[in-house]
Amino acid sequence: MSESYRRVKGTRDLLPPETAVWAAVEATARSVFGRYAYREIRTPIIEHTELFVRSVGESTDIVGKEMYTFADRKGRSLTLRPESTASVARAFVENGMTSWPQPVKLFYIGPQFRYERPQKGRYRQFHQIGAELLGDASPLADVELLLMLNRFLQELGFEDLVVLVNTVGDEASRQAYRASLVGFLTPRRDALSEDSQRRLESNPLRILDSKSPGDREQLEGAPELHDSLTPEAREHFDQVRAGLDAQGMAYRVENRLVRGLDYYTHTVFEIVSEGLGAQDALVGGGRYDGLVAALGGGAVPGIGFAIGEDRLLDVLPESFQRRFVPASPTTVVAVGEVSPMAALALAEELRSQGVECIAELTTRSLKSSMKRADRHGVERVLLLGEEEMESGRVTLRDLRSGRQGVVLRDRLAAVLTSDDFYEIVNPGPSGPEGEEER
C-alpha cells in the first residue's frame, strides 16, 4: 500500500472484537454517571485557538508544543481540541447554561488531539472519558465526584485503586507559593532540566511534577505548598478530607501532586492502580473555580476529570473484557434446491427476535458453506433443506462437536438464546437417523 494511503502517524484503527470492549466501557460510564444525574454533552472537535491559550495556559506544553493549529480559508486560527474541559466551559457560557438550575452536571466521550511522541497507550488522536460539575463550590462536590469516579473504575473490575489528593490552593495561595518556590529553585537553576528551567519562569508549580531524577533531587527540601495556603484554601481541603473519611474512601495526600493546566484551583487528584507499575495513573482532575469567569461567564465554580480511554483499555482487567467478547453468530445455510432467499428470510425472522445471524447468500456446496462458517468463528449452523421447508423444522448443527438436532421453527429463537442450549436441543448422533425433534 502506498504511504499516502496509510493511517496518519499517531492514529490507529479500532477493530472488532476490541470495539465491543470499548463500547462496554463507554456504556458503563454512561450507566454510572447517569446514576449521579450527569448528562452527556458533545462539543465540536475544532475550536478557536484562543480558547485553549486562554484556558489551558500559554506556558503549558499543550499550548506551546502539542496543539494541532491551522488557519482556515479566512485566516482564522483554529485548533483540534487537545482536551475537553475548556470546550465544555465554553459551551456552558455560550449556550446560557449559567441560567439553568445549578449545578449543571455534564460528561463527554470523544477524541482529542495532541502532537506528541506516539507510544503504547499514547496517541496523537486519543480518546477521553470525562465529566464536569459546574455551579457548586462545596467541598462535598469534590467528594461526590471522587466517589462517582471510584465507582466507575470499580465496575470496570479494578481492585487495587489508590486515590491521591492534594490542594493547589486559591489564587492568593499559589502566588505566595510561587514566590517561595522560585526563591528556592533559582540558585539551583543550572542543575535543573531544560524543561524545568523554562518552567521556572512561566509555570514553576509544574516542576513539582517533573519525572527527571535530577529535578527530583533538586526539589529535596523545597517548601511545601501547604505552608502557603490561605485559611480559606486550607478549610476547603480539610472539608474534602473529612468528607472522604466520612464516606470510608481510602486516599493518600500527595503534597507534590499538581496538574499541568493553568486553570486548576483547590482540590487536585489522581487515581492510580498500584499493580500497573511506573505508569499507574488511570485518571486525573481537579477544581477550576476561575475558568468560566475567564471565558466571560461569571464566577461559576467547577470541578472535573478526564480519563485517557486508550490507556484505560490497555490495562482493563481481564475479568471485564471477557464479559464483552461478542458471542458467536449463527449461520443460516440453504441446502440442496432451496434458494438462499429462504435462508435470508429465516435470518431476518431470527434477527427480529434478537438472534445474531449470518445468512449464506451465495449458492455453494454444503461443505464449502461449513468451511466458510468455521472461518467466521461460527459455532452453530442452521440447515434449511427441502424437508425442513415442508415440515416447519430446522436442522441445528454444532460445529464444535459435530452433533446436530432438529428444532421446530417457532422454537428456534428460544433455543438459540437459551443458556441451557444443550439440554434443550439434546443433540443426537450426526445424520438423519440420529436427529431428535425439540
Residue with cell 446436530: 404
Nearest Cα neighbor of 341 from 364, 363, 371, 369 is 363
pLDDT for res 300: 95
E strands along 176-311, which residues? Answer: 251-253, 265-273, 281-287, 302-308
Pick from 336-340, 367-371, 402-406, 429-433: least confident: 429-433
List Cα–Cα distances, 288 to 50, 298, 354, in angstroms: 18, 13, 46
* Mean pLDDT score of the chain: 89
182, 218 contact by CB (below 8 A): no
Q: Which candidate, 185, 124, 153, places its Cα nearest to that of 28?
A: 153
Query: b or e along 25-44 (b: 16 or more beta carbons within 10 Å of the residue's beta carbon)?
Result: beebbbebbeebebeebebe
For residue 135, name the pLDDT band (cuts at 50, 70, 90). Answer: very high
Ramachandran angles phi, psi of 279, nearest 5°: -95, 70
Find out whether 125 and 331 touch, Cβ atoms under 8 Å.
no
- What's the predicted TM-score (pTM) here? 0.85
For the chain, which residues make up each domain, given as ranges? 3-170+230-322, 330-434
Q: Can you say how many angstroms the Cα of residue 391 is from the centroid of all Cα atoms in its chain?
A: 51
The confidence score (pLDDT) of residue 207 equals 87
Identify the CATH number of the domain defined by range 330-434.
3.40.50.800
pLDDT of residue 209: 76
- Would you say residue 106 has pLDDT above 70? yes
- Which residues contact residue 250 at a Cβ distance below 8 angstroms, ignoring those fewer than 6 apart? 162, 163
- pLDDT band, residue 433 (cuts 50/70/90): very low
- 3-170+230-322 and 330-434: identical CATH topology: no
Q: What is the mean pLDDT of residues 362-388?
A: 89
Mean pLDDT over residues 415-423, rounded? 67
Residue 213 or 201, more confident: 213
Check whether 351 has a pLDDT greater than 60: yes
Give me the phi and psi of 130, to 5 degrees please.
Answer: -145, 170
The confidence score (pLDDT) of residue 438 equals 43
DSSP H or E segment with residue 80 = strand 77-80
CB atoms within 10 A of CB 266: 25
User: Is residue 172 predicted with pLDDT exceeding 80?
Assistant: yes
- Give residue-wise pLDDT tens across range 240-294: 999 999 999 999 999 888 876 667 889 999 998 876 666 678 899 999 998 999 9
Q: So what's the pLDDT on residue 342?
A: 95
Phi and psi at 384, nearest 5°, equal -120, 95
Nearest to 36 by CA among 139, 153, 145, 155: 145
Q: What is the mean predicted confidence (pLDDT) over 365-393? A: 90
- Strand order through the sheet with 251-253: 39-40, 104-113, 125-134, 302-308, 281-287, 265-273, 161-167, 251-253
pLDDT exceeds cutoff 70 at 378: yes
Question: What's the CA gap between 144 and 243, in Å, rounded?
Answer: 9
Q: Which residue has the higher pLDDT, 144 or 219?
A: 144
Architecture of domain 3-170+230-322: 2-Layer Sandwich (3.30)
**79 or 177, higher pLDDT:** 79
Q: Taking residues 370-396, report their average pLDDT.
A: 91
CB 254 within 8 A of CB 166: yes
> 326-363: b or e for each residue (b if 16 or more CB lie within 10 Å)?
eebbbbbbbbeebebebbbebbebbeeeebebbbbeee
> Virtual CA dihedral for 152, 155, 159, 165, nearest 10 degrees?
10
Determine the Cα–Cα distance for residues 186 and 175; give it in Å rounded to an integer.
16
Q: Average pLDDT, stretch 8-34?
A: 95
pLDDT at 434: 40
Q: Is it the case that residue 428 has pLDDT exceeding 60?
A: no
Looking at residue 355, what is its pLDDT? 93
